[in-house]
Amino acid sequence: MATPAEMLDMKYLCKLLVKSMVVGGFVAASMTSSAGVVSADPAPNWDAIAQCESGGNWHANTGNGNYGGLQFKPSTWARYGGVGNPAAASREQQIAVANRVFAEEGVEAWPKCGAQSGLPIGWYSHPAQGIKQIINGLIQAAVPR
C-alpha cells in the first residue's frame, strides 16, 4: 500500500501527465488546423539569394571552393543529399538541397546573402527552433509552479 506522500506524488504526476497530454493535443490540433489555412510554409526567395551569391548564375564555378547559384560547399551539398557538383545541377535540384539546409540551419547557412531571403531573421530563419520555443512556452504555462 502506498503512503500518503507517495499518493500525493502520484496525484501530482497524474495531473502533470494529463496537462502534458492536453498541451500536446492542443499543439497537434493547432498545427493540423493551421496547415489547412496556410498553403505552404514560408520559404526563402532562392532567386534573390542566388542573385546575391553568384549574380544569379545557377552554374557558377568562381574558383572560391563554392559552387552553383547558392554557392554550396561540396561537403554541405553532399551532406544534404546533393549528387555531383552543385554547379552542374539544375536550379530546381539546388533549391531542393537548399530547402533541406534551410530546415536544419536556417538562412544563416548563407551568412553573406541570407538576409536577401525575404524572411525575418530569427523565427523563420530557423523553423525547428521556433516550434520548440512555442511548445516549451505552452508546457511552462500548463505546469503549476
Looking at residue 72, its pLDDT comes to 98
Q: pTM of the prediction?
A: 0.59
Looking at residue 140, its pLDDT comes to 81
Looking at residue 136, its pLDDT comes to 75
Looking at residue 142, its pLDDT comes to 81
Point out the residues of the chain with pLDDT beneath 50: 33-39, 123-125
Rounded CA-CA distance 130/128 in Å is: 5
Q: Are 89 and 98 in contact (CB under 8 A)?
A: no
Looking at residue 34, its pLDDT comes to 46
CA-nearest of 48, 55, 43 to 99 is: 43
Cell of 43: 520559404
Looking at residue 123, its pLDDT comes to 46
Rounded CA-CA distance 28/15 in Å is: 20
Rounded CA-CA distance 145/133 in Å is: 19
Looking at residue 122, its pLDDT comes to 58
Looking at residue 38, its pLDDT comes to 44
Looking at residue 141, its pLDDT comes to 82
Rounded CA-CA distance 54/2 in Å is: 69
Q: Sketch out the chain's domains with CATH numbers.
A: 46-127 (1.10.530.10)
Looking at residue 73, its pLDDT comes to 97
